[in-house]
Amino acid sequence: MTDDGHGFATEQVHGGFLPDTAHGARVPAIHMSSGFLFDDFEQARDRFAGTDDGYTYTRLGNPTNADVERRVALLERSPEAILVGSGQAAVTVALLGLLEAGDHVVSARSIYEGTKGLLLQNLARLGIEVDFVADQRDLDAWARAVRPNTKLFFAETIPNPKNDVLDITGVADTAHRAGVPLVVDNTLATPYLVRPVEHGADVVVHSASKFLSGHGAGLGGLVVDGGRFDWSRHLERFAHLTTPDRALGGQSYVERYGSRAFVVYARDVVASRIGPSPSPFNAFLLRQGIETLSLRVERHSANALAVASFLEQQPEVTSVDHAGLASSPYHDLAQRYLPRGAGSVFAFTLAGGEPAARAFIDAVELFSRMTHLGDVRSLVLHPATTTHAGRTASERADLGIGDGLVRLSIGIEDVADLLRDLERGLAAARAVTGREARPAPASEVASLAHTVPQGHVVVEEV
Ligand SMILES: *Cc1c(COP(=O)(O)O)cnc(C)c1O
């Protein structure tokens, strides 16, 4: 429940809505306008001075984009969010809002390859260092990696492809003991499965291109500030927020904006200068997706668990990385943080290695061969030769990404159809690895399909 008593499903369709006083449109307009008119000389001056909070120019703010920002902030139970053009832009804005040359980041190792590249190739050239924690469950390892110049911890709530769920509170407490915020990427969980700020995280980033949109029709990203980290307690560590700034007439961001200091700086000084502005058209598409988020994620999660359980029983499959399974080393964390489901992006490993993975991927018909996640359609990819092809075999082995590993993003289709398609893939994998064909487990497929709710009432429990 939020302060005014609304549950998640209500908030996702009503939250942050501002009535259209001019025309009464029920769905907010797409404001495809680079700039906004000033009534007169005075208003132009006031808008630039910030004493009139109307719009000026879309890179700095746009009503369609602001509508999505309000809604996602509410869903994450946070005061404020910034919409940007992609998930990569969101991570970049969040990190550049906190880091400068000479700083250090402690990050989970299992993060998205694009974020890893940002840290190792882009931010490294700006003089920012990073250490990766190999086993993110080892809180002592996080603490040991801290240095005097450490400025933040970074992790993902549900990393891909291994579904190795984060101990949000454990890592947040460790960060706070070191005097730094925890920034988490909540893309694969969405606020429907977990709201990291409620478990101690300080800043949440999203690729809105994935589940938040769901339709796979446009990119987007968000930086969400929980507003709880007390920047004023760390005067030297976050000097850009705590020391007088000429742009603020000699005040600091903390003096002027209090708990909003980081998000205002990230919006006004980072996002508006670097310029990863979202198109209002994409913001509109994203908004349409968010309105059905809980329904989709519920179906995604139920389908994924059914698929994971099915795969775990197949002789061609040596392991299934899904934290919803009792066999997962992350099952306890999933039960603690993700009671509604451990998401729908996970991997499984075929005994037959790359030839089996190739045969499997080429044989499926319903699954889309794609590098994308969180689409309403089911997707399949071979990480070793695509997303992780730039890593050495031993780096991939360290990450648990073998040649037989296949990544799935389970959609919202009828699960019986998905299981039949996977059967087709497994039969092809069997053929190339020369294993004995196993009788088609039709009854198994049917009974698993029945375990998936095909439409039931959502009871909100927050
Ligand atoms: C896709 C993704 C990103 C990058 O988002 P884009 O919208 O593709 O820029 C960042 N983090 C995670 C976890 C992702 O899955």
Give the model confidence (pLDDT) of 108-145 as tens digits.
Answer: 999 999 999 999 999 999 999 999 999 999 999 999 99
Question: The CATH number of the domain where 402 resides is what?
Answer: 3.90.1150.10
Q: Calculate mean pLDDT across residues 314-318.
A: 97
* Locus of tokens 């302060």: 3
In this model, does residue 348 exceed pLDDT 90? Answer: yes
Confidence of residue 445 (pLDDT cuts 50, 70, 90): very low
Q: Strands 129-133 and 104-108, how do they pair?
A: parallel
Residue 44 lies in a domain: no
pLDDT, tens only, 34-74: 999 999 999 999 999 989 999 999 999 999 999 999 999 99
Are 141 and 181 within one domain?
yes
Q: Calculate mean pLDDT across residues 306-334.
A: 98
The residue type at 253: Y
Q: Strands 182-185 and 150-156, how do they pair?
A: parallel
* C-alpha 251 to ligand 1 mean position (Å): 36
Mutate to test the pocket of ligand 1, among 84, 187, 188 (most ligand atoms within 8 A of CB): 187
Are 285 and 348 within one domain?
no
The residue type at 246: R
Q: In this predicted structure, which of 3-7, 107-111, 320-324 has the lowest mean pLDDT?
A: 3-7
Are 215 and 317 within one domain?
no
Q: Which residues, other chains included, contact 444 with Cβ-Cβ below 8 Å and sequence gap of 6+?
A: 310, 313
Residue 420 lies in a domain: yes
Question: The CATH number of the domain where 276 resides is what?
Answer: 3.40.640.10
Q: Among 226, 258, 289, identify where a domain stops.
A: 289
Q: Which protein residue's CA is at the shortest distance from atom 7 of ligand 1?
A: 87
Look at the chain and report how many structural domains it folds into.
2
| Nearest-angstrom CA–CA distance, 88 and 247 | 28
Evaluate: CB of 373 within 6 angstroms of ligand 1. Answer: yes
Are 139 and 257 within one domain?
yes
In this model, does residue 440 exceed pLDDT 90? Answer: no
What percent of the chain lies above the pLDDT cut of 70?
93
Mutate to test the pocket of ligand 1, among 209, 344, 345, 372 (most ligand atoms within 8 A of CB): 209
Residue 253 lies in a domain: yes
Confidence of residue 434 (pLDDT cuts 50, 70, 90): confident
Are 263 and 333 within one domain?
no
Are 187 and 322 within one domain?
no
Evaluate: CB of 278 within 6 angstroms of ligand 1. Answer: no
Helices (H), 275-383: 280-290, 293-312, 331-337, 353-363
Evaluate: CB of 185 within 6 angstroms of ligand 1. Answer: yes
First to last CA, the chain: 6
| Nearest-angstrom CA–CA distance, 316 and 430 | 7
The residue type at 342: A
The side-by-side arrangement of strands in the sheet containing 405-409 is 317-321, 345-350, 405-409, 379-381, 368-369
Residue 348 lies in a domain: yes
Q: DSSP character for 236?
A: T
In this model, does residue 104 exceed pLDDT 50? Answer: yes
Residue 37 lies in a domain: no
Are 305 and 233 within one domain?
no
Confidence of residue 457 (pLDDT cuts 50, 70, 90): very low
In this model, does residue 458 exceed pLDDT 90? Answer: no
Characterize 419-437 residue by residue with b for buried, 16 or more Cβ atoms within 10 angstroms of its Cβ, and e for exposed. bbbbbebbbbbbebbeeee
Q: Calculate mean pLDDT across residues 82-91.
A: 98
Which two tokens mark 306? 């059914």
Which two tokens mark 72? 């996602």
| Nearest-angstrom CA–CA distance, 203 and 185 | 9
pLDDT, tens only, 234-252: 889 999 999 999 989 999 9
Q: Calculate mean pLDDT across residues 278-282.
A: 97
What mean pLDDT, rounded, does the chain reach? 93
With residue 420 as reference, give the H or E element that holds it.
Answer: helix 415-433
Q: Among 256, 289, 322, identify where a domain stops.
A: 289
The residue type at 310: F
The CA-atom distances, in angstroms, between 415 and each of 213, 440, 441, 444 are: 21, 17, 15, 12
Measured from the Cα of 88, ligand 1's closest atom is 9
Mutate to test the pocket of ligand 1, among 83, 84, 86, 88 (most ligand atoms within 8 A of CB): 88
Are 337 and 319 within one domain?
yes
Q: Is 179 helix (H, G, I), strand (E, B) or coil?
A: coil
Q: In this predicted structure, which of 2-16, 241-255, 295-309 has the lowest mean pLDDT?
A: 2-16
Evaluate: CB of 103 within 6 angstroms of ligand 1. Answer: no
Q: In the chain, how many H helices and how many E strands? A: 20, 12
Give the model's pLDDT for residue 4. 61
Q: Which protein residue's CA is at the shortest distance from atom 2 of ligand 1?
A: 207
Residue 35 lies in a domain: no
Q: Strands 368-369 and 379-381, how do they pair?
A: parallel
Q: Among 228, 257, 289, identify where a domain stops.
A: 289
* Locus of tokens 């769905």: 27
Evaluate: CB of 87 within 6 angstroms of ligand 1. Answer: yes
Burial of 457 (0-12, 13-18, 19+ CB in 10 A): exposed
In this model, does residue 176 exceed pLDDT 90? Answer: yes
Q: Which protein residue's CA is at the shortest distance from atom 1 of ligand 1?
A: 207
pLDDT, tens only, 400-424: 999 999 999 999 999 999 999 999 9
Phi, psi of 63 (to 5 degrees): -60, -35
Are 319 and 436 within one domain?
yes
* C-alpha 191 to ligand 1 mean position (Å): 16
Evaluate: CB of 190 within 6 angstroms of ligand 1. Answer: no
Are 325 and 439 within one domain?
yes
Evaluate: CB of 209 within 6 angstroms of ligand 1. Answer: yes
Q: Calculate mean pLDDT across residues 427-443.
A: 69
pLDDT, tens only, 350-384: 999 999 999 999 999 999 999 999 999 999 999 99
Q: DSSP character for 325?
A: S
Q: In this predicted structure, which of 3-7, 227-231, 232-236 has the lowest mean pLDDT?
A: 3-7
Confidence of residue 452 (pLDDT cuts 50, 70, 90): very low
* C-alpha 40 to ligand 1 mean position (Å): 42
Residue 353 lies in a domain: yes
Identify the domain containing residue 404 by its residue range. Answer: 294-450
Residue 386 lies in a domain: yes
